[in-house]
Amino acid sequence: MKSQKSLFLFVIITALILGVISYFGFRALTQESTLNEYQTQQLAKSHVAQTQSFILQQLNQKQVRLDAMLAYLSLDKNALNTLISQDSDIDGIFVLQNNKLVFPDVSQPLSLKDQKLAELIMPVSHDPALLMAKQHKSEDKTPDSGWLVLQDNHYPALIYWRKTDNDTVGVKLSYVKFLADVISALDTDFAPDGIKISDNGQLLYQLLPEPIGDNQTSSYSQNLPFPLHGWQIDYYTAPTNGQSLYSLGIILIVTIILAVGFMALMLYREFNRATRLASQQVSFVGQVSHELKTPLTNITLYAEMLNEMEAEENGQNAHYLGVIISESQRLSRLIQNVLTFTKLPQICIRQVDINQLMNQIYTVFIPVFEAKDIQLNLNIDGQLSTKTDVDRVTQIISNLLSNAEKYAATGKRVDLNVEQDNDNIYIHIRDYGNGITAKEIKQIFQPFYRVKSSITEGVTGTGIGLTIARQLAETLSGEINAINNEPGMTFTLRLPKR
């Protein structure tokens, strides 16, 4: 009788266990399916975000280039026409003076291209507020540059503008060239998934592997921010065989049920031995719990002691703070060139002792040059002084010396010579490195240009240092020239005597 009751109880418990296994098995299948859908959606979002980031990066590079160009662009008609014909990124340029279109000059005969640009930009001359419509506004500052998007036939016209005093200069970006640059460099190999990029419904780019049909709807879509707000990225997920997932899941659940049933039968047949085994397991758990408790207590104790010791020893924290400050200062120096490139600080003219200034710069750079076994020589012809901006002169000379230290270290010598005539002071930085060709000398002062040769391999740089130096010199009514001495180069800063 007791055996029958045990058997009945065993069957009931086994049935309950198998029911629970079946319930949680099917629930796990449903959750797995939901998880797969979620992961697929997150993967789609990640790939779309990656594609969007790349496209916006390409546009930002164009914006930085155009902004630098507009900041120092000559408004001479011939110069503007030359720039339009030579720069493939530029599809047209317009100039507004006091909200009046002066280039292209509509009073003169215009080409069909210039006439279309004039018609396109005419609403802006009537309503300059259109330029600010999509810009980020603040309470204390009106934007002086930004993007304007107009509709030119079936294509959007991307226009980057910059306002200076009463002049507003805008550049119509070549949409075809920008699109070609994006597509040529875009990496969207997300196989077996696919992607489409469209502009207001017009297909721009498509990469759909074979499993994805043209009629399949996208699994995730996202529009780009202004000024590419008309662009939409559609992500297509390759179809998956959900039926196979459920089939495999059911087979797995049935296998588990059979295995559990067989194990239950074996457990019932060896009930007594199982009871003893359970008793041993309880004893084993108790022993293990006791053994784990001791090392866990020690870990907690020593962790608390270490925490108290750290509170008493503040010296290491001060060291960490010093490292943070040092690295933040280094980062500040790295971005200073870019900040200077986009917006020059206010000029401060005062009487400057050139001899004292050169000696200060020489003292700063001596350790850097000695670390690379480079001899730095300073020669000053007489007692020199002038009225200028000491910070800008310091930045120019430091930039040129830094270039000599990075790119002409093989010459093992750099001369810093200062001389004068009746009207000017000349500061020469002569190195004895490999030098550069005459053709490259004409280009080294262009923004973002870097000489491609063995002397620049492994040396980091942005390509705007000499551009900044020339801009600073021009604000001081001076100039910078470069000549090839064979060996080496000589950069000369001319400062007028005020």
What's the token pair of residue 236?
A: 């297509």
- CA distance linking residue 378 with residue 417, whole number of Å: 6
DSSP 3-29: HHHHHHHHHHHHHHHHHHHHHHHHHHH
What is the per-residue pLDDT for 425? 94
Residue-wise pLDDT tens digits, 33-81: 778 788 888 988 999 999 999 999 999 999 999 988 888 888 888 888 8
Among residues 480, 346, 485, the alpha carbon closest in space to that of 400 is found at 480
∠ CA 203-208-209, rounded to 5°: 165
What is the per-residue pLDDT for 155? 76
DSSP 285-333: HHHHHHHHHHHHHHHHHHHHHHHHHHHH--HHHHHHHHHHHHHHHHHHH
- CA distance linking residue 258 with residue 483, whole number of Å: 88
Structural domains of the chain sorted by starting position, each given as residue range(s) with its CATH number in brackets: 90-173 (3.40.1840), 350-496 (3.30.565.10)
Cβ contacts of residue 481 below 8 Å, gap of 6+? 491, 492, 494
Query: What 8-state DSSP symbol labels residue 373?
Result: T
- CA distance linking residue 253 with residue 423, whole number of Å: 95
Residue-wise pLDDT tens digits, 287-314: 444 444 444 444 454 445 444 555 555 5
Low-confidence spans in the chain with pLDDT less than 50: 2, 280-299, 301-303, 305-307, 315, 317-335, 337-339, 341-342, 458
Residue given tokens 């609403």 in the structure block: 123
Among residues 250, 237, 217, 208, the alpha carbon closest in space to that of 36 is found at 237
